[in-house]
Structure formats: C-alpha cells, structure tokens
A and B are shown apart, each in its own frame.
Chain A
C-alpha cells in the first residue's frame, strides 16, 4: 500500500517535471510568431502552400491555415479571432459584415467557367441562353442546339462565393432557379462528369478532361481572356485583415503579392496573378483599366 503510494508520487513528480521542462524549453520564437488564416476552402490550398514556403524561408514563423468557408473567415476576422480572413467575395457583398473595419488584400484572380456533361453536344452558348438555362426557362438541350436531353442544373451552395460571382456576372444578377446544390467544386465536377445532361460551373483550377467547358458568346474561358475582361465571369480571392495587421501578417501578405509567389505558385495552382490583370473591378462590379 505504502510502496504504491511512493511510486504514484514519483510518477507524478516525473510527469510534472517533464511538462514544466517542456514548457520552459519550448521554442518561444515559433510560439510567439504564428498567425492564423481562416476561411474560403477554395483559397485554402494557395495560402497553405504559400505559408509553407514562407515558413521555410523565415525560420521560426508559422502560418496556420484553416478552411471553414468564406462566411466563417469574414466573421472570424471581424471578431478579431484570427489574423487573416480568406474570402471568395468582397466583404461588402456578405451580409452581417462591416467592410469599413477591414482591409481588403486581393491576392489572386479566379476565372469561373460553365461546364457540361460530355454527351450534351454543346460547346458554345450565348449569355441569353445561359441565363435561360439557369433560370429554368430552357429545360432541354435540344432548345440550345444540343442533343435531346433534359437539362440537370447543378448549383453551388447558397452563399458560396463561386455562386455569387456566377449569378452576378454570367447571369447578370438574376437568381438561378431552385435546383440541386453542391457545396464543393470537386463534387460539382464529378457529378457533371457522371450525370447525362448536367451543367454546372467551377473555377478554372478544377477544369479537367472529364467535363466539357462551354464558351460564352464565342469567347473561350482562358486566362488571356480573363486578363482583358473579355471573359467576364471571374472574381478576386481576398485576404482580409483588421485595420492594424501585425508585422508578420503584413509581411506574409506582401510575400503572397511578391513576384515569387504571383508568377510561380499562383500559376501552378491554376489561379491568375493579379499582376497580369489589365482591368480591375471594385465591390460594386465596376470595371476600370489598370495603367
């Protein structure tokens, strides 16, 4: 009985000792210099990859990236819980967010293209046709020059950035009809690839051979066309910070905006560099030429 008491006590002392040793010898540089970025799942791979490179170049810093969705990102940055909020949309467009308290850093441009199942037999649509399809006025591919197949709309989840962009620019602000919804690009793509007559839309980085992309009014969804706004279905990827970002936060954002990241990483991931854009767009959708 007594012996076991002694052993218990010894064990306790060893554990407490180890923990306090660990605590006092912790790597204080990295513990004090870490920032958290939360938000858009579409932006997550980019920030993650950039964060990894940044940590490799600056030992002792740590960039912690989380998904959770644009809404989560914006509400977390607004409440000050994180250093960076990742978003697919302008803070002005998100209800419940006071955009004037945040600073917007546009780090990349993402083009969005309509995709259809390969059996549809359509490679080009006019914008009017696209609107009619998504508002449910056209329900068979025959009516727009394709095969005799019923149209299956695959929308993105309500409130998703991709859907907001698509509705504002491809559908000229019209709301699409109630239809199937998926909350992720990967699922939307694989559903379009496997469902006859399906149409959806994904960011350029998700385009692959399993689906057919559609030109709008004869303009192909390519990076070159986005740069000049000839392909007008695109949006910015935003990193939002509070009014007074920490030094590390600012340095990290500068790093993402540097040529090293913009010309290499951004392209590898299928985004379009903000440096290459010949036009810019503000929160209300107004286009102006970049000098």
Chain B
C-alpha cells in the first residue's frame, strides 16, 4: 500500500519534471521562432547584409555557412573514418589505445574558444592563410574530428562480428572486409552521426570569429572559378557565417534593424538545424531499409 502510493507520487513527480523540461525547451524554441520567423522572406534569405542601412539580408552568410560546413566535412570525414576504423578494427586493447582514446576525448571537450585561438595562431598566422574559409574549415575540422570519430567508432562497433567472419570466410582481407562489408552496413548510423555533427558545426561561432573572420565581402555569383577571390567557391576569401553574423550584429551592429536581422537569422539557424535533424532521421531510416531489404 505504502510502496504503491510512493510509486504513484514518484511517477507524478517524474511526469512533472519531464513536462517542465519540455516546457522550457518548447518555450525556448517558440521564443526564437516567434521572434524571428516574421522577418524571414525571400529577400532576407538572398540579399547581402548591409552595414549601416535597414533592409539587409543574410544571403552571403547563409551560403558561407553551408560552404564552410561542406569543406569542414570534406576534410574531417575521411580522417575520422580512418581513425574510427583503426580504433575499432585494428587497435589492440592496451594502454596506448586507452591513452589515444583519452586524447580524442580531451579534444572533444576542448572549449571552442581555445580551438578558435589555436586556429588563429596556427592557420591564420603561422600558415599565413589569413582570415579565410580554409582557416575556418580547418578550425572546424579540429572541433569536429573527435565527435565524428567517436560516432563512427560506435557505429562500427554495433555491427555484429558475424558480418566480419562472413567476410573472412570469403577470403577477404581485413581491410576489404571493413571497407566492403562493415562500413556499408554501418552507413546509416554513420550518416546520422555526420548530420548531427553538422548541426553543431552550423551553429558554431566562437571557433570561427578569429579564423574565418567577421566580414562577408560581396560575392560574384556568376564566377565559379575557385581561384578568383570574389568567387563564392574561393577558399581563401574571408567568410562570416550565420552564427558569427548574429554575434556581430548583436555586439557592433549599427544598422537600424539590427534586432530584426538578428532574430530572423537566429530563426533561420534553428530551422536549418531542425532540417538537419529530420534529414538525418530520414536518411538513416531509408538507408537502413534499402540495405536490409537487399
């Protein structure tokens, strides 16, 4: 009797706590969306930002965010795939491996300010890349590598050993087994991991302020030659991303509609992250169906 009542009370409390957290989270999302969505328009999404007049958009920043994300993933995905494969398939279980795992975890809990400052010293100053997309992409790679490696390793570890043994039985080498059997089987969860980490990259500002820079010069969208500095594809131009733009207009913006722009940009960011999440789920499910049906 007593235990049952306590059970009921505890269940009630748990319901309340969960409801409270959901309310906080929904309120947060709602606040951002309600403040921002009214400012979103086609013009806002495509036109360049204006420094001191009203009516500026976020077109270039949005493009920069996606391009930077693409480059960062392009660099970090192969590296973390390799590292994940080694850790899960080859690495012997000894102290050294443990130590390596620790270093990767340290990298993942590194404050993003420190990553940004390191990127500034190393890529911007030392390598003379200047404030550029490339510096930003490298900094984001540093930021992204541990998370991605971790999720790829987990994805590989979840593939049952039967698959590997089947590969060996067919006379495949270990490497062939991994690349032809294990990685394809783990692909759905790898993709989910990649897309979720993309959400984090997309919203990162502190690591980019001193690497990709805080200005978004006008781009010539007719020129797709990556070696021209005004081309959108040029990796050596400075590129302010959406998250950095929000930070900048809140701190130094002198345009009269700074508040509206910042609210609108925040909403766009949230929506983008939301889309990434849906995309991750959808892709993961589809790939899973596709692969298991075969």
* A and B together in one complex: yes
Is B227's CB under 8 angstroms from A269's CB?
A: no
CB distance from A189 to the nearest CB of B (A): 10
CB distance from B59 to the nearest CB of A (A): 15
CB distance from A278 to the nearest CB of B (A): 26
Q: Is the C-beta of A31 less than 8 angstroms from some C-beta in chain B?
A: yes
Contacts of A44 in B (CB 8 A): 214-215, 252
Residues 35 to 86 of chain A near chain B (Cβ within 8 Å): 36, 38, 41-42, 44-45, 48-49, 51-52, 62, 64-68, 81
Q: Is the C-beta of A268 less than 8 angstroms from some C-beta in chain B?
A: yes
Q: Is the C-beta of B125 less than 8 angstroms from some C-beta in chain A?
A: yes
Report 30 cross-chain contacts, Cβ distance below 8 Å, ordered by A residue: A26-B227, A27-B223, A27-B230, A31-B227, A36-B130, A44-B214, A44-B252, A45-B252, A45-B254, A48-B51, A48-B217, A52-B218, A62-B217, A64-B215, A64-B238, A65-B217, A66-B238, A67-B213, A67-B215, A67-B248, A68-B210, A68-B214, A184-B251, A186-B252, A186-B254, A187-B251, A268-B52, A269-B254, A270-B52, A270-B254
Q: Is the C-beta of B200 less than 8 angstroms from some C-beta in chain A?
A: no
Residues 224 to 256 of chain B near chain A (Cβ within 8 Å): 225-230, 237-238, 248-254
Is A81's CB under 8 angstroms from B253's CB?
A: no
Q: A48-B51, A62-B230, A184-B251 are in contact. Are A81 and B217 (CB under 8 A)?
A: no
Contacts of B223 in A (CB 8 A): 27
CB distance from A149 to the nearest CB of B (A): 26
In whole angstroms, what is the CA distance A34 to B131 when docked?
14
Q: Could you give, for residues 242-282 of chain A, a 1 whenever the CB lies within 8 Å of some chain B CB and a 0 otherwise? A: 00000000000000000000000000111000000000000
Q: Could you give, for residues 248-288 of chain B, a 1 whenever the CB lies within 8 Å of some chain A CB and a 0 otherwise? A: 11111110001000000000000000000000000000000
Is B215's CB under 8 angstroms from A30's CB?
A: no
Is B258's CB under 8 angstroms from A186's CB?
A: yes
Contacts of A41 in B (CB 8 A): 214, 248, 251-252
Q: Is the C-beta of A183 less than 8 angstroms from some C-beta in chain B?
A: yes
Q: Considering only CB atoms, which chain A residue lies closest to B125 in the complex? A: A81
Contacts of B174 in A (CB 8 A): none
CB distance from A68 to the nearest CB of B (A): 7
Q: Is the C-beta of B128 less than 8 angstroms from some C-beta in chain A?
A: yes
In whole angstroms, what is the CA distance A66 to B125 when docked?
14
Contacts of B131 in A (CB 8 A): 38, 66, 68
Q: A48-B51, A49-B52, A186-B252 are in contact. Are A66 and B215 (CB under 8 A)?
A: yes
In whole angstroms, what is the CA distance A48 to B252 when docked?
14
Q: Could you give, for residues 180-215 of chain B, a 1 whenever the CB lies within 8 Å of some chain A CB and a 0 otherwise? A: 000000000000000000000000000000100111
Q: Considering only CB atoms, which chain B residue lies closest to A188 in the complex? A: B251
Contacts of A48 in B (CB 8 A): 51, 215, 217
Contacts of A270 in B (CB 8 A): 52, 254
Is B254's CB under 8 angstroms from A205's CB?
A: yes
In whole angstroms, what is the CA distance A260 to B109 when docked?
51
Q: Considering only CB atoms, which chain B residue lies closest to A21 in the complex? A: B225
* Total contacting residues, chain A, CB less than 8 A: 36
In whole angstroms, what is the CA distance A184 to B262 when docked?
16
Q: A66-B214, A81-B125, A268-B52 are in contact. Are A186 and B225 (CB under 8 A)?
A: no
Contacts of A187 in B (CB 8 A): 250-251
Contacts of B237 in A (CB 8 A): 64
Instruction: Please indicate which of the listed interface residues A36, A186, A268 has the most CB atoms of chain B within 10 Å of its own CB.
Output: A186
* Total contacting residues, chain B, CB less than 8 A: 29
Q: Is the C-beta of A22 less than 8 angstroms from some C-beta in chain B?
A: yes
Q: Is the C-beta of A241 less than 8 angstroms from some C-beta in chain B?
A: no
Q: Considering only CB atoms, which chain A residue lies closest to B224 in the complex? A: A22
Q: A49-B52, A64-B238, A66-B213 are in contact. Are A22 and B227 (CB under 8 A)?
A: yes
Is A27's CB under 8 angstroms from B258's CB?
A: no
Q: Considering only CB atoms, which chain B residue lies closest to A24 in the complex? A: B227
Contacts of A25 in B (CB 8 A): 225
Contacts of B52 in A (CB 8 A): 45, 49, 268-270
Contacts of A34 in B (CB 8 A): 229
Is A186's CB under 8 angstroms from B128's CB?
A: no
Contacts of A185 in B (CB 8 A): 251-252
In whole angstroms, what is the CA distance A268 to B223 when docked?
32
Is A26's CB under 8 angstroms from B238's CB?
A: no
Among candidates B51, B130, B249, residue contacting A49 with C-beta atoms closer than 8 Å: B51
Contacts of B258 in A (CB 8 A): 186
Q: Which 4 pairs, one residue from A and one from B, show the smallest C-beta to C-beta distance?
A: A184-B251, A26-B227, A67-B214, A45-B51
Is B228's CB under 8 angstroms from A26's CB?
A: yes
Is A27's CB under 8 angstroms from B251's CB?
A: no
Is B215's CB under 8 angstroms from A65's CB?
A: yes
Q: Is the C-beta of A169 less than 8 angstroms from some C-beta in chain B?
A: no
Contacts of A81 in B (CB 8 A): 125, 128, 130
In whole angstroms, what is the CA distance A65 to B215 when docked?
7
CB distance from A119 to the nearest CB of B (A): 21
Q: Could you give, for residues 90-134 of chain B, a 1 whenever the CB lies within 8 Å of some chain A CB and a 0 otherwise? A: 000000000000000000000000000000000001001011000
Is B229's CB under 8 angstroms from A22's CB?
A: no
Contacts of A22 in B (CB 8 A): 225-227
In whole angstroms, what is the CA distance A22 to B225 when docked?
6
CB distance from A29 to the nearest CB of B (A): 10
Contacts of A23 in B (CB 8 A): 227
In whole angstroms, what is the CA distance A10 to B234 when docked?
25
In whole angstroms, what is the CA distance A206 to B250 when docked?
12
Among candidates A30, A65, A66, A68, residue contacting B230 with C-beta atoms closer than 8 Å: A30
